[in-house]
Amino acid sequence: MHARMRFLLAGIPIVALTIAVPFVNRAEPRIFGLPLLLAWIAFWVIVTPAFVWGLGRVDHRW
């Protein structure tokens, strides 16, 4: 379970910023005035440190 959690926490931002990008590559809808793709990337750039923090917490327990 521990190894799965590490891969999950490390993999979600990677998948969101690489594999999922073609699926959100649209100009509409706009979020806070930004095209969807730009808002998607900005969101994941902001949220990725939370995943890294969670990864550190999971690794620190063991």
- In three-state secondary structure terms, 35 is strand
Query: Which among 41, 60, 42, 49 has a CA at the least distance from the CA of 9?
Result: 49
Question: Taking the CA atoms of the chain, what radius of gyration do you get in angstroms?
Answer: 14
Q: What is the pLDDT of residue 61?
A: 60
CB 7: neighbour CB atoms within 10 A? 11
**Using CA atoms, how far apart are residues 1 and 9, in angstroms rounded to an integer?**
12
pLDDT per position as a tens digit, 12-56:
898 998 998 899 888 889 999 999 999 999 999 999 999 888 888
Q: Are 36 and 29 in contact (CB under 8 A)?
A: yes
For residue 10, pLDDT beyond 90: no
